[in-house]
Amino acid sequence: MRILVYIDLLAGSATSLSKELIAGALKLAGPSGSVDLAVIGNDAGSVSNLGAGRVLQIQDPRLMHYNPAGHIASIDALIEHTSPDLVLLGYCTAGLDIGPYVAMKRNLPLVSYCTDIRIEGAEVEAESQIYGGKMTATSKISLPAVLVVNPGVYREADVSTAVAEIVHVDAPSGLDRMGIDFIRATEPDPNAIDITKSDRLLCVGRGIGDTDGVENARQVAGLLGAELVGSRPVVDAGWLPKERQVGKSGRKVKPRLYMALGVSGAPEHLEGMASSGTIVAVNSDARAPIFDYAHFGATVDVSDFLEALTEALDK
CA atoms 27, 31, 157, 75: torsion sign: negative
For residue range 182-238, list pLDDT tens digits in order: 888 777 666 778 898 899 999 999 999 999 999 999 999 999 999 999 999 999 999
Distance CA 315, CA 91 (A): 43
Give the residue among 7, 145, 20 at the shortest CA–CA distance from 71.
7
For residue range 267-293, list pLDDT tens digits in order: 889 888 988 999 999 999 999 999 999
Collapsing DSSP to helix, strand or coil, 33 comes out as coil
* CA gyration radius, the chain: 21
Q: Which residues contact 100 (CB under 8 A, 6 or more apart)?
A: 110, 112
Q: Is the peptide bond before 188 cis (omega within 30 degrees of 0)?
A: no
Eight-state DSSP code of residue 161? S
Give the global pTM.
0.71
Strand duo 200-204 + 257-261: pairing: parallel
For residue range 144-173, list pLDDT tens digits in order: 999 999 887 888 888 777 888 899 999 898
Q: Is the peptide bond before 61 cis (omega within 30 degrees of 0)?
A: no
Distance CA 197, CA 296 (A): 23
